[in-house]
Chain A
Amino acid sequence: MTATGSAPTVSSRQRYRRLLFGSIGVGVIANVALRIASYPIAAEAVYWLGIVVALAAWRFSPVTLFDERDDALERRASQITLVVMAVVLVLGASGSRTLAALGVYEGSPFVAGALYGYVAMAVVFALALAWTARGR
């Protein structure tokens, strides 16, 4: 272990992480730009190119791209997301039902779709939790 110089693993990790996130970002931005310019097929092609490059960067990186702190941050962000999702689902579902019953506001298909999406996410979470809890 030397005391000087940049560590190769650290710089490699930064480079591959930049490639991973950068390719997704470029793919998404190019996708939106091409769709606006009425090139839908090219938009999807460039989007998938970004995804493939990101997967390749993740899969073939010679270094570990994420460590335990990244995992801890992800866990914390997931917990916050779940709490926000639960609050929006509970309030949104009850609120839309109440407003509909009172004849004040009939929820649009968009709102109903969003709420069903949240329900689906909650179900997926419950299944994932049950699956990860097996044998632990």
Chain B
Amino acid sequence: MNNDVRARREERGLSQAGLAEAVGVTRQTINSIERGRYDPSLELAFALADFFECRIEDLFHPDGDE
């Protein structure tokens, strides 16, 4: 699954640790999500979308989609 987490995080000038703190996970988890090495649970995906004030489908895309 592709995602725009890194772009949106950087837009806000947040560190990975800062985003991790905001959504209650480890920095390594945010790093893995951004690198596409870990697909978050629905709960975490909702938390991230909520934090970035967008819809999940605006943040996460199936492989192949931009």
Interface on A for B, CB 8 Å cutoff? 1-11, 13, 64, 67-70, 72
Q: Are B26 and A67 in contact (CB under 8 A)?
A: yes
Give the Cβ gap from A130 to chain B, nearest Cβ, in Å. Answer: 25
- Residues in B24-48 with C-beta less than 8 Å from chain A: 24-29, 32, 38, 40-41, 43-44
Interface on B for A, CB 8 Å cutoff? 12-15, 17-18, 20-22, 24-29, 32, 38, 40-41, 43-44
A4 to B63, CA, bound (A): 32
- A10 touching B29 in the complex, CB below 8 Å, given contacts A69-B38, A72-B38: no
Give the Cβ gap from B3 to chain A, nearest Cβ, in Å. Answer: 14
A131 to B26, CA, bound (A): 30
Select which of B15, B24, B40, B41 is within 8 A of A64 by beta carbon: B24
- A68 touching B29 in the complex, CB below 8 Å, given contacts A3-B12, A3-B13: yes
Residues of B within 8 Å of A10, CB to CB, are: 17, 20-21, 26-27
Give the Cβ gap from B49 to chain A, nearest Cβ, in Å. Answer: 15
Residues of B within 8 Å of A4, CB to CB, are: 13, 15, 18
Select which of B14, B18, B26, B43 is within 8 A of A69 by beta carbon: B26
Residues of A within 8 Å of B14, CB to CB, are: 1, 3
Residue of B at shortest CB range from A8? B21
A72 to B38, CA, bound (A): 9
Q: Are A68 and B18 in contact (CB under 8 A)?
A: no
Residues of B within 8 Å of A6, CB to CB, are: 15, 17
A10 to B20, CA, bound (A): 7
Residue of A at shortest CB range from B21? A7
Q: Are A70 and B12 in contact (CB under 8 A)?
A: no
Task: Indicate the member of B22, B25, B41, B44 with the most A CB atoms within 10 Å.
Answer: B25
Residue of B at shortest CB range from A69? B29
Residue of B at shortest CB range from A10? B17
